[in-house]
Structure 1
Amino acid sequence: MVYTGQVGGNKHTHKAGGVNYLCLSNDLENGESQKDGNTQLFGLDYEIGSSYKPSGMKGDMKNKEVPCAVCFQRRRSVHLMIPGRKTCYKGWTSEYSGFLMTDHKNHSSKDYLYVDKDAEPLDNKSSNEDGALLYGIRTKCGSLRCPPYKDATDVRCVVCTR
């Protein structure tokens, strides 16, 4: 473990600024307070209640903040996320499997995150701050070939190392 923290990102209604999610350290060394209004870093809230929760994911975590960890694996130099799978290919070691998630399709674009199937909230607080938001995503057949995909299904992922 290098460090633990909370996931942050730009507010779901902002049309410009950062698009990637960040694992923010709990051990801060911040700059000085400023008066301008260019706030772009908000805590990420799970929006995975009943309708957006991937099948097989535990608990209702709607409006709970998302924790994170940055890890280093000394003997494994290659890190690979494989979307659409829950197991690694032969010769690779599975670090965790879960679901591909991002902001809602009607909000501004954000990066995809790989969320462990056994994800937990940062704490028990659930105040619906609506900063950065995280939803489970589904497939859409058409330009995405079905088969092998199926329409409107959760997108699994696995993180593998070698």
Structure 2
Amino acid sequence: MESESGNQGSVFIRWGKHTCPSLNGTEQLYSGTAGGSFYTHSGGGANTLCLPHHPEPLPDNFPLVFEGNSTNRVGYLYGGEYQFSLKDVVVQDDVPCSVCRAKMATSTMMIPAKRSCPSGWTMQYTGLLTSEWHGGQMAEYLCVDEDPDFVERSRVNENGRLFYPVVTVCGTLPCPPYKSSTLVACVVCSA
């Protein structure tokens, strides 16, 4: 599966960690910090980004022209914060991330409500399913590593893209096999 150039494989983000899993054939492309839209804004980006620690800005003379010369029509990018405590992480800690490549894989996937991978797949990491809280703006579901790290110097409540744990709600979600008001596990697998 790997070419002579070494650029084949499957890329995934390990949310909540500074490093990639220590698996044969998995390498770190870069580490960073989680970012996204502010939790109460109705516009802006919907996905969460893994922002590199060493950004490369556009040149000062970048030829951008705003519609109607209105420079206030922009999207805003904020950092991400945990809204729960788990092991060494506390509420308000900033969320690190690591972009990883499973060199010997062609696919990666996150499976909600599981802690194991299908037969023939390799477990990259297990974790806790997170999203924005139900009263905020919608954000994607992300699997945060079950042994999360945090960004040093970050224990300040600045909000931004917030990470909340996800719990089940019975009704349209069948119970059993699910149980009401329980935390949802997740796993990231590659093959």
TM over 0.5: yes
Deviation at 1:92, TM superposition (A): 1.1
- RMSD (Å), alpha carbons: 1.7
Q: How far does the alpha carbon of each residue in 1:69-127 deviate from its partner, in whole angstroms, 9 at most, with x for none?
A: 10111111110111100111221110000011011110011111110000111114211
The answer to whether the Cα contact below 8 Å between 2:106 and 2:190 also exists between their aligned partners in 1 is yes
Q: Which residue in the other structure is 2:40 paired with?
A: 13
**In 2, Cα distance between the equivalents of 1:125 and 1:82?**
29
Unaligned 5+ runs, structure 2: 1-27, 65-69
Q: How far does the alpha carbon of each residue in 1:39-58 deviate from its partner, in whole angstroms, 9 at most, with x for none?
A: 51000000114xxxxxxx42
Q: Which structure's CA Rg is the greater one? A: 2
| Amino acid in the other structure paired with 2:94 | E
**In 1, Cα distance between the equivalents of 2:91 and 2:154?**
10
Q: Which residue in the other structure is 1:54 paired with?
A: none
| Amino acid in the other structure paired with 1:42 | Y
Deviation at 1:60, TM superposition (A): 4.2
- SS for the counterpart of 1:64 is coil
Unaligned 5+ runs, structure 1: 50-56
| Amino acid in the other structure paired with 1:117 | E
Asked if residue 36 in structure 1 is aligned to residue 71 in structure 2, the reply is: yes
Equivalent runs, 1:82-161 vs 2, <5 Å: 82-161=111-190
**In 1, Cα distance between the equivalents of 2:75 and 2:119?**
45
- SS for the counterpart of 1:71 is strand
**In 2, Cα distance between the equivalents of 1:121 and 1:130?**
15
**In 2, Cα distance between the equivalents of 1:109 and 1:32?**
33
Deviation at 1:61, TM superposition (A): 1.8
Deviates more, 1:35-44 or 1:119-128: 35-44
**In 2, Cα distance between the equivalents of 1:118 and 1:158?**
13
Deviation at 1:62, TM superposition (A): 0.4
Q: TM-score, normalised by structure 2?
A: 0.76
Q: Which residue in the other structure is 1:53 paired with?
A: none
Q: How many residues align?
A: 155
Q: Which residue in the other structure is 2:18 paired with?
A: none
State the percentage of identical aligned residues: 37
**In 2, Cα distance between the equivalents of 1:6 and 1:85?**
25
Deviation at 1:59, TM superposition (A): 3.5
**In 1, Cα distance between the equivalents of 2:71 and 2:148?**
35
Equivalent runs, 1:29-68 vs 2, <5 Å: 29-31=56-58, 36-37=71-72, 38-49=74-85, 57-68=86-97
The answer to whether the Cα contact below 8 Å between 2:89 and 2:150 also exists between their aligned partners in 1 is no
Regions of 4+ moved over 6 Å: none
Q: How far does the alpha carbon of each residue in 1:2-54 deviate from its partner, in whole angstroms, 9 at most, with x for none?
A: 111001000001011211100011121122579934351000000114xxxxx
